[in-house]
């Protein structure tokens, strides 16, 4: 990948930006300089990180002021929908998602987080505290608090901790605040309204709530679901957050891939994510799309002949 020193760079990160997107953009912006933009609305942990870093992300961009766009942690162009990316500007995509929809200049590395990739690219001798916080925040959240990761992930993490003096507790206390009353109620209501079914030993749970879909899905996994789908509906728009346990990922369940396949069949919706966590959004009836997600997952379990013992 070739980026010239004198180039004016614009870093773009996906909508609902997470700490991995924010952390990698912050780090490269410090090292290579340039501006960072994202469609509005980072997620809550990313917002906490931005506040700590005192870092500004623009929600608009004047593309003609830049020589190159560097797109981070964003596997699908639809995640940048509110921008109209000009065709004629140089683009470089740095990403760790396996199923990418870009067809140009992808710098892909098989890593758990984008922060690992940008750290390796720069290979810095020293890190500031804020750089350490930013990079570790991305690794911590994309590994689901270190529940997954390769030996490489953990050796990079340990290098970052050594070079910056930042501890995991430092990062946790910045990212995770206590749950608000409304999130707690959403979790309880989500569980109360949920229904589940069992297919070849897999427990699939779905529920409808007003907000906090991701948090509700995580809560349902803790409660016993193998795969959880939580959806909300506002006006004509729906949003579904799907989660799967580490255990079923071993069986080649991939929520991000399933959601992406729904998008491919239905241009009204946008879907994607990781094997263990994905988001499907669009216009239409929530109930219909929740059922479609369940149906797709059941088809996959049956087609692949997957099965889990019930005890």
Binding site for Mn ion (CB under 5 A): 20, 73, 114, 142
Tokens 């069949």 belong to residue: 265
Task: Please report which helix (H) or strand (E) contains residue 248, including its range.
Answer: helix 246-249
Q: Is residue 50 within 8 Å of 28, Cβ to Cβ?
A: no
Cβ closest to Mn ion, residue 194 vs residue 241: 241
**Position closest to Mn ion via CB:** 20
Q: Is residue 27 within 8 Å of 116, Cβ to Cβ?
A: no
Tokens 């749970």 belong to residue: 205
Q: For 73, left (φ over 0), alpha (ψ -120 to 50), or beta?
A: left
Cβ closest to Mn ion, residue 73 vs residue 131: 73
In the complex, minimum distance from the CB of residue 20 to Mn ion, in angstroms, rounded to a whole number? 3
Class of residue 90 by CB neighbours under 10 A (exposed 0-12, middle 13-18, buried 19+):
middle
In the complex, minimum distance from the CB of residue 166 to Mn ion, in angstroms, rounded to a whole number? 19
Cβ closest to Mn ion, residue 73 vs residue 254: 73
In the complex, minimum distance from the CB of residue 275 to Mn ion, in angstroms, rounded to a whole number? 12
Question: Exposure string (b/e) for 98-136, b if CB count within 10 Å is 16 or more?
Answer: eebeeeebeeeeebbbbbbbbbebeebeebeebbbbbbb
* Separation of alpha carbons 109 and 9, rounded Å: 21
Cβ closest to Mn ion, residue 113 vs residue 281: 113
Cβ closest to Mn ion, residue 114 vs residue 127: 114
Cβ closest to Mn ion, residue 143 vs residue 217: 143
Q: Is residue 143 within 8 Å of 153, Cβ to Cβ?
A: yes
In the complex, minimum distance from the CB of residue 131 to Mn ion, in angstroms, rounded to a whole number? 17
Tokens 């942690």 belong to residue: 73
In the complex, minimum distance from the CB of residue 76 to Mn ion, in angstroms, rounded to a whole number? 13
Tokens of 255: 């929520």
* Separation of alpha carbons 309 and 127, rounded Å: 48
Cβ closest to Mn ion, residue 207 vs residue 218: 218
Tokens of 241: 């957050």
Phi, psi angle pair for 166, to nearest 5°: -90, 140
* Separation of alpha carbons 232 and 211, rounded Å: 6
Per DSSP, helices labelled H in 103-212 are 114-122, 129-142, 151-164, 168-175, 181-192
In the complex, minimum distance from the CB of residue 242 to Mn ion, in angstroms, rounded to a whole number? 16
In the complex, minimum distance from the CB of residue 114 to Mn ion, in angstroms, rounded to a whole number? 5
In the complex, minimum distance from the CB of residue 19 to Mn ion, in angstroms, rounded to a whole number? 9
């Amino acid at each position: 990948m070739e980026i010239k020193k004198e180039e004016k760079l614009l870093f773009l990160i996906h909508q609902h930006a997470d700490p991995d997107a924010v952390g990698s953009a912050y780090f490269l912006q410090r090292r290579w300089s340039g501006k960072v933009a994202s469609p509005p609305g980072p997620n809550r942990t990313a917002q906490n990180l931005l506040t700590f870093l005192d870092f500004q992300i623009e929600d608009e961009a004047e593309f003609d002021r830049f020589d190159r766009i560097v797109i981070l942690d964003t596997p699908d162009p639809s995640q940048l929908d509110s921008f109209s990316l000009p065709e004629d500007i140089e683009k470089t995509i740095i990403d760790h998602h396996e199923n990418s929809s870009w067809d140009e200049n992808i710098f892909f590395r098989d890593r758990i987080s984008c922060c690992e990739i940008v750290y390796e690219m720069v290979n810095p001798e020293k890190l500031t505290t804020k750089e350490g916080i930013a990079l570790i925040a991305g690794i911590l959240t994309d590994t689901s608090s270190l529940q997954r990761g390769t030996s490489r992930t953990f050796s990079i993490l340990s290098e970052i901790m050594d070079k910056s003096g930042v501890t995991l507790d430092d990062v946790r206390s910045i990212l995770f605040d206590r749950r608000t009353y409304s999130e707690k109620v959403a979790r309880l209501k989500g569980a109360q309204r949920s229904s589940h079914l069992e297919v070849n030993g897999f427990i699939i749970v779905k529920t409808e709530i007003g907000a906090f879909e991701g948090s509700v899905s995580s809560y349902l996994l803790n409660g016993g679901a193998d795969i959880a789908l939580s959806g909300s509906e506002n006006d004509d728009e729906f949003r579904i957050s799907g989660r799967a346990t580490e255990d079923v990922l071993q069986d080649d369940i991939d929520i991000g891939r399933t959601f992406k396949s729904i998008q491919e069949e239905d241009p009204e919706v946008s879907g994607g994510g990781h094997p263990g966590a994905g988001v499907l959004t669009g216009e239409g009836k929530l109930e219909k799309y929740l059922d479609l997600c369940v149906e797709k997952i059941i088809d996959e379990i049956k087609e692949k002949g997957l099965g889990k013992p019930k005890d």
